[in-house]
Structure 1
Amino acid sequence: MRIAIASDHAGFVQKDPLAEYLRAQGHEVVDCGPDSDERCDYPDYADKVARRVARGEVDRGVLICGTGLGIAMTADKVAGVRATPIQTVEFARLAREHNDANVIGLSGRFVSLEDNEKILDAFLTTEFGGGRHTARVEKMMREDDPAFPGVEA
């Protein structure tokens, strides 16, 4: 699988070890930065990964910031991306199985490297369940269309 990875300064300490973990499993990893733990803005790095996923240049995206929240929220704004912050293995599995998530936001401050490796394992090995979830994901993705008028209140 081809995977893009990036972080901000708060997630930088886990970025390189997670990239190496993915490479050791046979994945091709595209490192989108940063190159140091100097203060930087997570939206810039979230955008780099999310746009590669949206264009189909990579299969999945992995983002790491302090909490995984802001970086995932930013990535999710890119059309075609289904990004979510994840702090547990079970949520990673469900994000893939039910929501076909293609970008994950990890916490570099509140979740250990070992636990993030387990989360990545679930995120990368769980298949989308399809079935009843397909129509829901399609409804979710209509929000990317600026012409979609929204659901009547």
Structure 2
Amino acid sequence: MSKVVRKIGICADHGGFELKERIKTFLLDNQFEPVDFGAKELDAADDFPDYVIPLAKAVADGEVSRGIAICGSGVGACVAANKVSGVRAGLITDYFSAHQGVEDDDMNLICLGGRVTGYASAEELVLAFLNAKFIGAERHLRRLKKIQNLENNS
């Protein structure tokens, strides 16, 4: 049984560029279709919001099924992504959170630190994130509704 190909948005600034390029190949090897939101070349003067915000908007609009944003630490990417209504991004450093964030919180964008996350670890975290499914239990839906109400009333 083959996996259904899903479009996965990915982006990085200079701090995550090398890891992004590696993860794009990893996505292809695992039957995902990476959609690269930049940076397209290594530029030490670039700014993560220029790539993260378009990626986050594409995730929120359903243009890609999920997103991967990488900057030096992952923190800036996570802050920027969560400013876009409908995005639920998490800075992920461990396997449990990579899948649990999707299962319980319907996380749709993972943030990684290109300067602090090794290749093997990043691949494991990305696969756990992409293969996880939202459980949709009543308590999870109730909590998400509270977040959506905040987004709608801000």
TM-score bracket, normalised by the shorter chain, equals over 0.9
Distance 1:61 1:114 in 2: 19
Aligned partner of 1:96: which letter? V
Deviation by residue 1:75-101 (Cα, 9 ceiling, x = unmatched): 111011111111111111111111100
Distance 1:111 1:14 in 2: 8
Is 2:52 aligned against 1:46?
yes
Is 2:142 aligned against 1:135?
yes
Shift of 1:24: 1.1
Task: Show the counterpart of 2:90.
Answer: 84
Gaps of at least 5 residues in structure 1 are 149-153
Distance 1:122 1:137 in 2: 21
Please give the secondary structure, in 1, of the residue aligned with 2:55. helix
Task: Show the counterpart of 1:123.
Answer: 129
Check the 8 A contact 1:100/1:128 in 2, yes or no: yes
Shift of 1:42: 0.5
Distance 1:56 1:41 in 2: 24
* Runs of 4+ with deviation above 2 angstroms: none
Aligned-pair RMSD on alpha carbons? 1.0
Residue among 15, 18, 35 paired with 2:23: 18
Please give the secondary structure, in 2, of the residue aligned with 1:101. coil
Is 2:12 aligned against 1:3?
no
Deviation by residue 1:12-69 (Cα, 9 ceiling, x = unmatched): 0111110110011111111011122212101111101001111111100100111111
Residue among 61, 77, 80 paired with 1:74: 80
Residue among 31, 34, 38 paired with 1:33: 38
Tell me the percent identity. Answer: 37
Residue among 116, 122, 144 paired with 2:151: 144
Aligned partner of 1:23: which letter? L
